[in-house]
């Protein structure tokens, strides 16, 4: 893959790239409808592919929060056309890498040394390149290391990038800004945290130590003396990414073992630590030769407020779900309904959200749950699409749900998708 010699850093440069992309998208529409007028065989998928490709090309050059939003959207297949989701998914660990001079410049700025001065060996060719940074292999004192380097200017451009990305996202999601403002604020806060590698170092060490006793899980050791605000050094973990593992046709027993490790990891964090690794895409997990699951990248971590934890899991309990008075209290606590809602609003939203919860809480109500059952995921996607199209939700005038739920729901959807891809049968009972 071609290396990138520079990254547009100023607001003007980055805004100009978005404007040019807007013109490209407009030209794609003109071309599409001209071809249709001439009775040429073109489809909506062809238009989506051209637009998604142009948008992704721009985002991959800008990197940072702009590209991270593409990665996040790629996980929401019930919100995006499949073509967009497929192309945007390349942001997970397949973005164009930085060139050597930019790498050295970053090291000098944040470590006061070149990588060659800090490590016994340092591979200038990136092993992986994603949205916020890229990973290089290195060796020091005989230890194989992974060195994550943040792209220059990413942290400084989060706020301005989101302002530029927002119109594209709102158009793709077909939503109004006022209805999603608190959720964009939550995304902005998380992206700012993801650019703080000192915070990621603290969380990585803390969470990995607390989860280390869980069966069939593996975590890297981290090196504060070789890390900084924009550089993070840890052990290199051998293994294959989860998608490659699944494509290798592993045994049912091994798939169940990896699936159980995933479930236990997230369950322990949610219920014991009151936080969660909130970026559950396949690129953040490796299956190691010994059959353990290695967890990568604690950049995106969602802390769960105690005021949210109890009502969030209460509504999944049939004793609450089937008690109208208690359910309404929990929905108000979760901002799914409001005290000043009309009775007509409540009569609409409570059954709609109850059905959603009843569907998604199914794994918690069984001793074991077989995620190989595609009907569960199909029902979840189909109902998600129904919710996204409901005019009552789109035109509510109020955000339906606490901003804190955004990343928690994203985590559960991501976990369910991973377990479904594994076709794993796991022990799940909570309620």
Q: What is the pLDDT of residues 228-243, one digit of tens each?
A: 999 999 999 999 999 9
Q: Of 17-31, 147-161, 273-287, 348-362, give the lowest mean pLDDT range.
A: 17-31
Count other Cβ atoms within 10 Å, centred on residue 159: 12
How many whole angstroms separate alpha carbon 416 and alpha carbon 379?
Answer: 12
Among candidates 275, 306, 308, 282, which has minimal Cα distance to 296?
Answer: 282
In angstroms, what CA-CA distances link 89 with 57, 67, 82?
Answer: 13, 10, 10
In angstroms, what CA-CA distances link 117 with 97, 110, 137, 140?
Answer: 22, 13, 15, 11
How many whole angstroms separate alpha carbon 154 and alpha carbon 192?
Answer: 9
Rg (CA), the chain: 22
3-state secondary structure of 281: coil
Q: Which residues contact 30 (CB under 8 A, 6 or more apart)?
A: none
Burial 197-235 (b: 16+ CB within 10 A, else e): bebbbebbbebbeebeebebbbbbebbeebbbbbbbbbb
Pairing status of strand 240-241 against strand 301-303: unpaired
Q: Which residues contact 390 (CB under 8 A, 6 or more apart)?
A: 352
How many residues in the chain? 431
Q: Of 79-88, 95-104, 131-140, 204-213, give the lowest mean pLDDT range.
A: 79-88
The share of the chain scoring above pLDDT 90, in percent, equals 53
pLDDT at 292: 97
Assess whether pLDDT exceeds 70 at residue 174: no
The share of the chain scoring above pLDDT 70, in percent, equals 74
Pairing status of strand 368-370 against strand 240-241: unpaired
* pLDDT tens, residue by residue, 196-227: 999 999 999 999 999 999 999 999 999 999 99
The answer to whether 232 touches 147, Cβ cutoff 8 Å, is: yes
Angle of the 64-74 helix axis to the 44-62 helix axis, nearest 10: 140
How many whole angstroms separate alpha carbon 216 and alpha carbon 69?
Answer: 31
Among candidates 344, 111, 326, 392, which has minimal Cα distance to 226?
Answer: 111
Tell me how far the alpha carbon of residue 60 is from its chain's centroid: 16
Q: Of 40-54, 320-334, 358-372, give the lowest mean pLDDT range.
A: 40-54
Q: Name the average pLDDT for the chain.
A: 83
Q: Which residue has the tokens 């022990």?
A: 427
For the record, the structure tokens of 373 come out as 């059952």
Q: Which CATH number fits domain 96-129+132-154+195-237: 3.30.200, 1.10.287, 3.40.220, 3.30.70?
A: 3.30.200
Domain ranges of the chain: 11-92+157-176, 96-129+132-154+195-237, 238-431
pLDDT at 188: 85
Q: Of 3-7, 156-160, 255-259, 398-402, give the lowest mean pLDDT range.
A: 3-7
pLDDT greater at residue 268 or residue 182: 268
Q: Among the ranges 194-203, 381-390, 399-408, which has the highest mean pLDDT value?
A: 194-203
How many whole angstroms separate alpha carbon 189 and alpha carbon 335?
Answer: 20
The answer to whether 209 touches 221, Cβ cutoff 8 Å, is: no
How many whole angstroms separate alpha carbon 3 and alpha carbon 136?
Answer: 14
DSSP β-bridge partners for residue 4: 98
């Amino acid at each position: 893959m071609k290396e990138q010699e520079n990254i547009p850093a100023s607001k003007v440069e980055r805004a100009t790239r978005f404007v040019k992309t807007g013109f490209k998208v407009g030209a794609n529409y003109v071309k599409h409808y001209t071809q249709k007028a001439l009775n040429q065989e073109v489809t909506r998928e062809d238009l989506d592919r051209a637009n998604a490709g142009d948008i992704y090309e721009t985002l991959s050059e800008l990197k940072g929060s702009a590209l991270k939003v593409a990665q996040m959207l790629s996980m929401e297949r019930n919100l995006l056309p499949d073509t967009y989701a497929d192309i945007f998914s390349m942001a997970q660990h397949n973005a164009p890498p930085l060139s050597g001079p930019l790498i050295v410049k970053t090291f000098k700025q944040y470590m006061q040394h070149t990588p060659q001065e800090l490590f016994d060996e340092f591979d200038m060719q990136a092993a992986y390149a994603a949205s916020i940074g890229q990973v290089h292999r290195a060796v020091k004192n005989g230890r194989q290391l992974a060195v994550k380097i943040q792209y220059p200017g990413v942290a400084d451009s989060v706020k301005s990038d989101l302002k530029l990305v927002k119109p594209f996202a709102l158009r793709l999601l077909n939503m109004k800004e006022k209805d999603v403002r608190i959720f964009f604020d939550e995304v902005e806060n998380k992206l700012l945290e993801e650019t703080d590698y000192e915070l990621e170092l603290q969380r990585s060490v803390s969470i990995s130590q607390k989860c280390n006793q869980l069966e069939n899980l593996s975590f890297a050791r981290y090196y504060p003396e070789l890390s900084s605000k924009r550089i993070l050094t840890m052990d290199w973990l051998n293994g294959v990414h989860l998608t490659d593992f699944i494509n290798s046709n592993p045994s049912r027993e091994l798939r169940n073992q990896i699936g159980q490790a995933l479930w236990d990891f997230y369950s322990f964090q949610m219920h014991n630590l009151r936080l969660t690794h909130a970026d559950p895409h396949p690129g953040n997990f490796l299956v190691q030769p010994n059959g353990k699951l290695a967890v990568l990248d604690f950049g995106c971590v969602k802390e769960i407020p105690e005021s949210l934890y109890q009502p969030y899991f209460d509504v999944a309990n049939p004793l609450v779900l089937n008690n109208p008075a208690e359910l309404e209290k929990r929905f108000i606590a979760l901002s799914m309904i409001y005290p000043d809602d009309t009775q007509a609003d409540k009569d609409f939203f409570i059954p709609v959200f109850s059905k959603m919860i009843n569907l998604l809480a199914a794994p918690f109500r069984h001793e074991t749950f077989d995620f190989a059952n595609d009907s569960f995921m199909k029902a979840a996607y189909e109902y998600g699409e129904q919710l996204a199209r409901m005019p009552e939700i789109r035109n509510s005038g109020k955000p339906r749900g606490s901003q804190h739920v955004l990343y928690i729901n994203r985590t559960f959807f991501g976990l369910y998708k991973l377990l479904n891809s594994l076709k794993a049968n796991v022990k799940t009972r909570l309620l």
